[in-house]
């Protein structure tokens, strides 16, 4: 893959070790509705990583609580959720090796963050973590990940065949495949992960491993 033009990075679970923070925030948000609802929310959130919090809040209210919810109410709950997660994500550790790799390649390859976190929030987090200089663009919701990939490929004249997406959730994989971009899965356990039956180019646990394989 020496001819790479661009790498798209998911953020939580790929750059920052912060996936558990989002799970705990949803648990806190739905705790007033009881343990059964919290269990349903936790299960759905874990199984649907990479999906916007706004979509999840609507889904949880309408399917688990059987309550219709308007945009104002969704935004209010999303703001509460944001207060739970933002500082914790800023303070979370990096995935091992990612900073070393970014330092090594950011002047040679176009790098982008594509996250389901709201656009302004993910930009603030990236800046506060001191890594903004590495990325050409930091992208968040409400635009879908696939929409961002297509936009970047076209806007920066990048070939999908010379690009790859590094993600840890099925939404990342589907977004990459939608644009025929190669996909590398960042997993905690190579033998127990959601991508075992998928067409994945590589499985990595940390970025020291990726550095050896690609560069």
**How far apart are alpha carbons 1 and 187 in whole angstroms?**
20
- CB-CB contact of 182 with 201 (8 Å): yes
**Model pLDDT, residue 172:** 95
In degrees rounded to 5, what are phi and psi of residue 41? -65, -45
Fold that domain 6-17+93-214 belongs to in CATH: Rossmann fold (3.40.50)
Tell whether pTM > 0.85. Answer: yes
pLDDT digits (tens, 9 = 90+) for 63-87: 999 999 999 999 999 999 999 999 9
pLDDT along the chain (215 residues), means of 10: 88 94 94 96 89 93 95 95 92 96 96 95 96 98 94 97 95 94 92 87 92 80
**Model pLDDT, residue 93:** 97
pLDDT digits (tens, 9 = 90+) for 42-52: 999 988 877 88
**Model pLDDT, residue 2:** 62
DSSP for 21-78 reads HHHHHHHHHHGGG-HHHHHHHHHHHHHTTTS-HHHHHHHIIIIIS-----HHHHHHHH
**How far apart are alpha carbons 186 and 161 in whole angstroms?**
20
Domain ranges of the chain: 6-17+93-214, 19-91
**Model pLDDT, residue 213:** 79
Q: What is the 3-state secondary structure (H, E, C) of 133-192?
A: HHCCEEEEECCCHHHHHHHHHHHCCCCHHHEEEEECCHHHHHHHHHCCCEEEEECCCCCC
CATH 1.10.150 fits 19-91, yes or no: yes
**How far apart are alpha carbons 209 and 215 in whole angstroms?**
10
């Amino acid at each position: 893959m020496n001819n790479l033009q661009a790498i798209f990075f998911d953020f939580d679970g790929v750059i920052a070790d912060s996936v558990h923070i989002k799970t705990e925030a949803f648990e806190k948000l739905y705790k007033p509705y009881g343990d059964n609802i919290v269990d349903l929310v936790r299960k759905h959130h874990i199984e649907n990583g990479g999906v916007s919090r706004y979509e999840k809040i609507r889904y949880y209210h309408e399917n688990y609580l059987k309550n219709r919810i308007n945009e104002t109410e969704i935004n209010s709950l999303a703001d509460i959720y944001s207060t739970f997660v933002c500082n914790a994500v800023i303070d979370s550790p990096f995935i091992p090796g990612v900073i070393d790799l970014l330092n090594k390649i950011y002047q040679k390859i176009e790098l982008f963050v594509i996250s389901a976190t709201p656009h302004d929030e993910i930009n603030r987090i990236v800046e506060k973590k001191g890594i903004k200089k590495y990325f050409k663009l930091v992208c968040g919701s409400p635009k879908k990940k696939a929409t961002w990939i297509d936009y970047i490929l076209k806007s920066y004249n990048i070939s999908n065949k010379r690009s790859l997406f590094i993600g840890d959730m099925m939404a990342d994989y589907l977004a990459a495949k939608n644009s025929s971009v190669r996909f590398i899965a960042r997993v905690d356990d190579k033998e127990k992960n959601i991508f075992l039956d998928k067409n994945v180019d590589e499985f990595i646990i940390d970025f020291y491993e990726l550095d050896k394989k690609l560069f």
